[in-house]
Copies of this chain bind each other. A is one copy, B any other.
Amino acid sequence: MAFNQALPKLVAEAIQSIVGDGPSGLHEPNFRGNELVYLKDCIDSTYVSSVGEFVDRFENDLAVFTGAKHAVAVVNGTAALHIALLLAGVEEGDEVLLPTLTFVATANAVKYCNAHPHFVDSSAQTFGIDPHVLSDYLHTATEMRGGQCVNHRTGRVIRAVLPMHTFGHPVDIDGLMAVARDFNIRLVEDAAESLGSYVEGTHTGTFGMAGTLSFNGNKTITTGGGGAILTNCTELAARAKHLTTTAKIAHRWNFVHDEVGFNYRLPNLNAALGCAQLEKLPEYLMEQRGLYECYATAFSEIEGVSVAREPPGCTSNYWLQTLILDDENASQRDSILLATNEIGMMTRPVWGLMHRLPMFLEASRAPLPVAESLERKLINIPSSPGLGRNS
């Protein structure tokens, strides 16, 4: 390994060799299936809003695809996270462990519960929470009081851990479940990025008390805006449905609500798009994997950089393709970002780490050396299904 001065140019050329010369976004949606047919059916039915056949069907199709017992469709992944934390019993004043290397919605959802994010470090292999490091940290930073894990420094109960399956690569979920058991912490999965990703054949988002999906426009499939809560617990699914539909008590004509609820139901119009998208998901997953293979081959010749691959025992959906710079070349990250974006190849670094954002500066945090190293070394590159098919 050595400093490779030509890296920005070589990276740009390697990407172009796969995706072609035209401008290329980071992750663009494909509409090859029944999208227009179902949207027309939806309009013809006049059910475009919070009730309708497509939203029921979308939930059922999601449950079948993921193997979750229940899926509850909501307005976006952020809303799904908010509700999933409430399902896990997160209350005002609690702390929730989550990676500092994540999209801001993961941390914001904790704040929506009036709870406190507590940032922990990532694994260099999965990019998600490292369970071994987490366990060591909790042994030093917390103590068990009355069966609850309490943060020494703040005196607050650590109620839940919220791992995220970064760019579609599954976290070490078995390791995290063991830590959660040891410390009596509830586990909720942020699977926003990992629809179609599995750990030993089991779909991400179905291990914890609840898991969440996102169908934003940049995800493997999209509903415009949308998300879902996955759970294997029938009672929690019913509660999720209740909380996301203004906590209204069912009645023929009375409007009475029994708690502070939310207007988080996915509209039937968006679910119609989702039903069509879901039909093509296996095709998109194959293409995203195929694109990884193209990139892996193209970058195998270039010194100083590699392409992130799925962790052992896991199937990644390869949602966002990711370059890893080696330490000697990490200083070239911004030059590579510039060289690629300048020629219309959209690339970006990871999200600004959560613990450095102004609203989370006071939050509790573990030592975060791996996340800080990954921030310097990771670059996401064009990842849309369909790219690279003719290369």
Contact = CB atoms under 8 A, between A and B. Distances in A.
A262 B246 CA distance: 18
Contact of A259 (B114, B225, B358): B358
Interface string A261-282: 1110111111001000000000
A222 B348 CA distance: 36
Contact of A268 (B224, B246, B269, B347): B224
A49 B260 contact: no
A16 to B, nearest CB: 18
A380 to B, nearest CB: 9
Interface string A245-265: 011100011111111111101
Contacts of A351: 255-256
A183 to B, nearest CB: 27
Contact of A104 (B35, B104, B246, B268): B246
Size bracket of the A interface: 35 or more
A343 interface: no
B79 A263 contact: yes
Of A114, A224, A261, most B-chain CB atoms within 10 Å: A224
Contacts of A47: 217
Copies of this chain present: 2
A39 interface: yes
A96 to B, nearest CB: 14
Interface in A1-59: 28-31, 35-36, 39-40, 43, 46-51
Given A225-B265, A351-B255, A49 B216 contact: yes
Interface stretch (A70-78, A127-135, A166-174, A293-301): A70-78
Contact of A217 (B48, B75, B266): B48
A114 B111 CA distance: 12
A103 B341 CA distance: 48
A210 interface: no
B105 A49 contact: no
7 contacts: A29-B46, A49-B217, A49-B222, A104-B246, A104-B248, A108-B246, A225-B265
Interface of A: 28-31, 35-36, 39-40, 43, 46-51, 75-79, 103-105, 108, 111, 114, 216-218, 222, 224-225, 246-248, 252-263, 265-270, 273, 337, 341, 346-352, 357-359
